Amino acid sequence: MTKSKYYLKAADVYTETSVEKNHYVLITDGIITEITDKPQLNIEVRDLGNLSLIPGMIDMHIHGREGCDIMDAKMSSIETISTSLAKYGVIGFLGTTVTANWQQTLKAFEVVGEASQLKMPGAQVLGAYNEGLFFTETHKGAHNENFFLKLTKERVDAIYKATQGQLKVMALAPEFQDSLEIIEYLNSLNVKVMLGHTNANFEQASEALNAGAAGGVHIFNGMSGIHHRDPGCAGAVLMDESALAEVIADGIHLHPTIMQLIYRLKGQDKMALISDCINAGGFSDGVYKLGEMDVVVKDGVARTPKGSLAGSTLTLNKSVNNIVNMTGVPLLSAVHMASLTPAKHLGIDNELGSICLGKRASFAVIDDALDVKATVIDGEFVFANEEFSKYLSS
């Protein structure tokens, strides 16, 4: 963290509840110490002109970017993902696995666990997300069912240990025996349980949520949808007030009207934007791998050879823009869904997730089209376009 004191001045500063015009945010040794329209004299001002300052975004569910995948189990891959995410205003992410061979999965978790405790060049690793292994074939999506396993306490322990305690989220299909006990056990380890790639009906999903599951993985995708005689897993997540819905807002995974429906039922506090981005993110169309599975990317949309959607090539700034343009949600709310909502879900909102006194100075600098011009983490510029490159930390 730089020992320093300076103001960032922006045309619009997005706080938790308002958009402040022509405000100055004082950053002292990486912490937000003042938000004002009357700056103190003799302190450096870095003027962002007509740009906006929003809280740095948090991508809770991302598999890879720019040819690199969490399943590579390589620190260099995580660094590439970290640098790539910073270009899009993301300041933190969970290294997310996909179904693969058990030993390979543990290796990937070891590297994510290590990376969580190191300073990354761009977005920081906030922990690990297990999206793999413990699913149902019916809604497998791009997961290879040959590697599916029964979720046991021993396997939870092995993953938790591999991540050095940095496992934050476990996705699972709750219709199997002992699931409710496993959910309680995961909660006792402070791991959030998300229901996904599941054929659970409404009752089974509701029972899992009552037992402590925290929400649904990329809602509607990889789970039973809403039927008027069985509201399904999607219905259970939508109707449970405390459940969080992960949303892939690319306009492909969810129809805009369904995104509106989710927003009306969940509101900005229980609707989290995720990218679910795979290693093709940031690259052109072609054939890529998600774990061991071939994925064909055409017009930016990733599918398995059988046609199932296989993650995305999305970025969170694009998601925020899409939510605003496709559903009419106010920008302040859309920003909230990519920053404070994930921070709260991960229990780190005391220090990240919003532009608020006392929190870490981690921001994205955006224009009206939601293009990211600079990204600041703990007061340090980790990404900047040419105009702001003079502020980049060396």
Residues annotated as part of the active site: 276
The DSSP secondary structure of 98-145, one letter per residue, reads -S--HHHHHHHHHHHHHHTTS--SSSEEEEEEE-SSS--GGG-TT--G
The DSSP secondary structure of 270-311, one letter per residue, reads SEEE---B-TTTTS-SEEEEETTEEEEEETTEEE-TTS-B--
**Cα separation of 390 and 374, whole Å?**
11
Q: Do 344 and 270 meet the contact criterion of CB atoms below 8 Å apart?
A: no
**Cα separation of 33 and 383, whole Å?**
22
Q: Do 253 and 221 meet the contact criterion of CB atoms below 8 Å apart?
A: yes
Which whole-number Å values give the CA distances from 346 to 9, 54, 272, 340, 361, in the listed order?
29, 19, 11, 10, 18
Spatial neighbors of 158 by CB under 8 A, at least 6 apart, are 106
**Cα separation of 14 and 391, whole Å?**
21
Joined tokens for residue 40 = 């103190």
Phi-psi region at 127: left, alpha or beta (left = phi > 0; alpha = psi -120 to 50): left
Joined tokens for residue 54 = 């929003």
Type of residue found at 388: F
Place of tokens 């958009």: 19
Spatial neighbors of 19 by CB under 8 A, at least 6 apart, are 12, 13, 331, 332
**Cα separation of 3 and 248, whole Å?**
38
